[in-house]
Structure 1
Amino acid sequence: MVLPGLLSKAATTVVTGAVGVAAYEVLRRAAAKVPARDIAVTAAEWGLRGVRTAETRAESARLTIADVVAEARERIGEEAPPPSVASGGHDHDH
């Protein structure tokens, strides 16, 4: 009486293992056909695109906030300071 249940569980385990091995082999063969360099280049490309998009959005947000602050200063009658020029980081002439 225990034997049919045990055989059933064993058969299920064997089938599950066979399916797992087949899936592993398919993935292993597919991975061997795709060069790792192409994957790395594609990942770097996506990363660069993401960084550029984030930089663009951050600059847009900065400009929007600057406009809001300038308008608020104008409403209260305060003069907005002129835009500052960022220092080049050194003090000698070229």
Structure 2
Amino acid sequence: MHAFLARAAIAGVVGAASFEAVRKTVAKVPLRKATVVAAAWGIRVVRDAERKAGEGAEHARLGLADVIAEARERAGEDVGPPAVTNAGSTTSDN
């Protein structure tokens, strides 16, 4: 029983010292600066995730286009090279 109380007391002292150290460190860093740093980090993470998602979507699109082209070729359809399209264009080249 005494060993348990001794361990609990030591854990309490270490926890209190850790909390105090963190509190003093946080008090030294202005809240606005910490918020800006955290927001910038979040923006970078989202930007990177968005880029990777776009790359994955493009990879999937190209893979599907290859499969469809090969299937058309095997079915005997005349398959030309893939057409380059402009997503923002409102006119037709027909």
> Could you report, residue by residue, the CA deviation over 1:46-74 in whole angstroms, capped at 9, with x for unpaired residues?
11111111111211211121112112111
Counterpart of 1:27 in structure 2 is 22
Instruction: Report how many residues are paired.
Output: 86
TM-score if structure 1 supplies the norm length? 0.67
Query: RMSD of the alignment, in Å?
Result: 3.1
Sort the Cα spacing of 1:64 and 1:76 in 2 relative to 1 into closer, same or farther, 3 A: same
The CA distance in 2 between the partners of 1:53 and 1:87, in whole Å, is: 20
TM-score if structure 2 supplies the norm length? 0.67
Larger Rg: 1
Structure 2, unaligned runs of 5 or more: none
The CA distance in 2 between the partners of 1:87 and 1:52, in whole Å, is: 18
User: How high is the sequence identity, in percent, across the aligned residues?
Assistant: 35
**Quick one: which amino acid aligns to residue 14 of structure 1?**
A
Q: Please tell me whether residue 74 in structure 1 is matched to residue 73 in structure 2.
A: yes
Counterpart of 1:60 in structure 2 is 59
Q: Please tell me whether residue 14 in structure 1 is matched to residue 9 in structure 2.
A: yes
Counterpart of 1:46 in structure 2 is 45
